[in-house]
Amino acid sequence: MIKVNGLTKEYQMGNTSVFALRGVEFTINHNEFVAIMGPSGSGKSTLMNIIGCLDKPTSGSYQLNEQEVASLDDDALSAVRNKEIGFVFQSFHLLPRMSALQNVLLPLRFSNPPNQDSQYASELLTRVGLGTRQDHRPNQLSGGQRQRVAIARALVNRPAILLADEPTGALDSKTSVEIMDLFTDLHKAGQTIILVTHEEEVAAYAQRVIRMRDGHIVEIEDRSTYAA
């Protein structure tokens, strides 16, 4: 599903070149649950942005479902991003004036052709445990419930990959466990998940953990035999 080979990302700061990624290589298969970990400045956020087609590498290859996306222009990247990738963020990014159902439906406005599959969006909210809260606005929901809305929204385009950036960072420990249990259920149902986190307790849910430091992958830990 994902093949990354020799990926680099270079930023120019004045006369100085700063490398955020230095020859990163790995493969993620269909229906894997992978966590990417590393301290601040390790390159994990840069890598996430490239995997999510939000940024382009300086060099190297990134293939998603056998399509080379590293060199696509912005319009083509946007199309791949909308079709193939669902995003879940730490801060939810819900529109406050919209109901839970309206927030979930929002990405379908940008699909090609535009789609308003309210039934499927409603089914997703039921699937994430919010079947009775579909008309509630974000300020009427708890943090965990808002994250569940965000997860349903990320799934509404039936993406190949669910990409989650610190999805429990704004949640208390009990709610974090509930959200990670939901990710586990989604993975068991066949969803490919890539999760960026700095928390070992969260990474423990993944089958594999990719650990980064200074733009390099320093370890790929296989947890498939004992992951939660």
Tell me the domain boundaries of the chain. 2-222
Q: What is the reported pTM?
A: 0.90
Quick check: 227 pLDDT over 50?
no
Quick check: 13 pLDDT over 80?
yes
Which residue in the block uniquely carries the two structure tokens 């590293």? 70
Say how far apart CA 167 and CA 56 lie, in whole Å: 23
Say how far apart CA 62 and CA 77 lie, in whole Å: 12
Q: What 3-state class would DSSP assign to 144?
A: helix
Alpha-carbon separation of residue 163 from 68, 75, 99, 139, 155 (angstroms): 19, 20, 23, 25, 10
* Interval 47-88: pLDDT, tens: 999 999 999 999 999 999 888 988 788 888 888 888 899 999
What CATH number should be reported for the domain whose range is 2-222?
Answer: 3.40.50.300
Quick check: 112 pLDDT over 70?
no
Tokens of 210: 């990719």
